[in-house]
Structure 1
Amino acid sequence: MTDELRGLLRESAEAHLPDRARMLARVERGTARRGAARGLRDRARTGPLTWPKIVLATLATVGTLTVSALTVVAVVHTPDPPRQPAAAAPSAAPSAAPSAVDRTAPPTAGSRTEDGPLWADGSVDPHSNTYWAQSNVTLKTRKPLTALVVELRIALTAGVKDTGSWRTLPAEDFELSAREEGGFLVYRWTLKPGRNVPSGEHVFAGQYDHATGGRDAKDDAYRIDAAGAGEGGAAVWGGFA
């Protein structure tokens, strides 16, 4: 019990007021005044902050916000750990487009006169004479051809010199060359792109001078490489009787 309350009770006793209700009323009024006084003291303790306290509180708040903002920025902008670069898949070496004509075997390597749809034969034309000759390469194909190379090789025996050539197919369908290569006079007919050779029998002939007298054709040779649309290549080769 506080001194203030004791004083109130003492005043009531001294006043000889036996009325219990009046005594309780005084006690309630005293208690109310005490509560009001306590409220004033509390408000005084919790009153407005002084200027230094405001500054310190503001700085503390700003510091807290700054630290929070930096934390957020750090979280948002923290770079991802460096990724290991994916190992590049080894690129396959580009494969060369298969040639429509495979000319790997030398024309003098034995004799192969038939392959797939092709058949061929080499012969010295019977109209040849003692100073001039013609060698014929006869080709038979059971299917149309979209690629064709015919090569005739005449050994450079004494006096051999080119005097011309011909073929039973249209001249404008072929590229023709005739030149000396490695001890041979070589005639080469190459089918132009976009042109075709029909199925059937076709002849390619090379004409040349030679030294007077009979000439031996044992070292002469031919080779034919061909391919049809959507089909693999075929090759035939042989010599001259």
Structure 2
Amino acid sequence: MTGPRRDPDGELRARLREAAGVHRPDRARILARVERGRAAEDQGAARPRLPDWVRVAGATAAVAGVLVAGGCAVASVVRDDAPARHPVAAPPGSRETGSREAGPLWSRGAVDPHSNEFWAQSNITLGTSTALTALTVELRVAQTGSVTSTGAWRSLPADDFTFTLDERDGFLVYRWTLKEGRTVPAGEWVFAGQYNHGRGGRDAGGDRYSAAATAASGPLAVRGGFTPGG
């Protein structure tokens, strides 16, 4: 013989009904929870919650702002420590002087734009439409205060020239002389003298240059100066 069949689902429902009958809600706790919910809603209305992407973007912008501010401070220190690059002569376009004759030889003088408040380079550009069998180029840099040579160069081969540097009559004198048997072909050529000077924008108004040459047509000569600094 078998006993009566059990009904698990029925027993579970019966126990739930019994528990529900015994349970008494804590009204005070429920009311407190409702009040807290309302307060949170009021704060949310005054300051709405931002989407996640906005908060991430804001944090990124804040970090970027700190980096930018730090970069500006570093850049300021570097600028203060580094020497300012002041014009040594007049602004570009007005600091070249020289001569361009109807003949085969012409020239112009310019303070190099890369010069700064401690150092400068004076450029002489010499142009010829015919070969030269003799040439002497002289650059005279006025002693305006602490002027000392730091070198010289030319765009023609160094072995074709004898170079000398002297200081006399208040000038640094750079001189390039074409060696015997060498020639200068037609074209434009640069002769440059470099020098340190006292701090500040140096006035090149007292500087000058000259060039004497010989071509098949006979002797040639040009000379010029450098526009004073503004």
Name the TM-score class by shorter chain: 0.5 to 0.7
Counterpart code for 1:238: G
**Equivalent pairs, count:** 131
Given the alignment of the two structures, is residue 218 of structure 1 paired with residue 205 of structure 2, yes or no? yes
Match of residue 101, structure 2, among 114, 129, 136: 114
1:235 and 2:221 are equivalent in the alignment: yes
Structure 1 residue corresponding to 2:124, chosen from 127, 137, 141: 137
- Residues 208 and 191 (structure 1 numbering): CA distance in 2 closer, same or farther, change over 3 Å? same
Deviation at 1:116, TM superposition (A): 2.0
Q: Which amino acid aligns with 1:191?
A: L
Quote the Cα distance in structure 1 between the aligned partners of 2:195 and 2:98. Answer: 24
Instruction: Name the SS of the counterpart of 2:110 in structure 1.
Output: strand
Is 1:161 matched up with 2:143? no
Contact residue 115 and residue 236 of structure 1 kept, 8 A: no
Identify the residue that residue 169 of structure 2 maps to in structure 1. 182
2:71 alignment counterpart: none
Tell me if structure 2 keeps the 8 A contact 1:113–1:238: no
Unaligned runs of 5+ in 1: 1-109
What is the TM-score of this pair, normalised by structure 1? 0.53
- Distance change (3 Å), C-alpha of 1:113 and 1:159: farther
Structure number with the higher strand fraction is 2
Matches within 5 A, 1:1-241: 112-114=99-101, 116-229=103-216, 231-241=217-227
Cα distance in 2 for residues equivalent to 1:127 and 1:111: 20
1:149/1:190 contact within 8 Å kept: yes
Regions of 4+ moved over 6 Å: none
Matches of 1:175 and 1:115 in 2, distance apart?
A: 29
**Aligned partners of 2:130 and 2:215 also within 8 Å:** yes
State the Cα RMSD in Å. Answer: 1.4
Flag the structure with larger Rg. Answer: 1
CA distance, structure 2, for counterparts of residue 219 and residue 189 of structure 1: 20
In 2 relative to 1, CA 129–148 (structure 1 residues): closer, same or farther, beyond 3 Å? same
1:190 partner letter: T
Separation in 2 of the partners of 1:149 and 1:117?
16
CA distance in 2, matches of 1:191, 1:115: 24
1:50-100 superposed Cα distances (whole Å, 9 cap, x missing partner): xxxxxxxxxxxxxxxxxxxxxxxxxxxxxxxxxxxxxxxxxxxxxxxxxxx
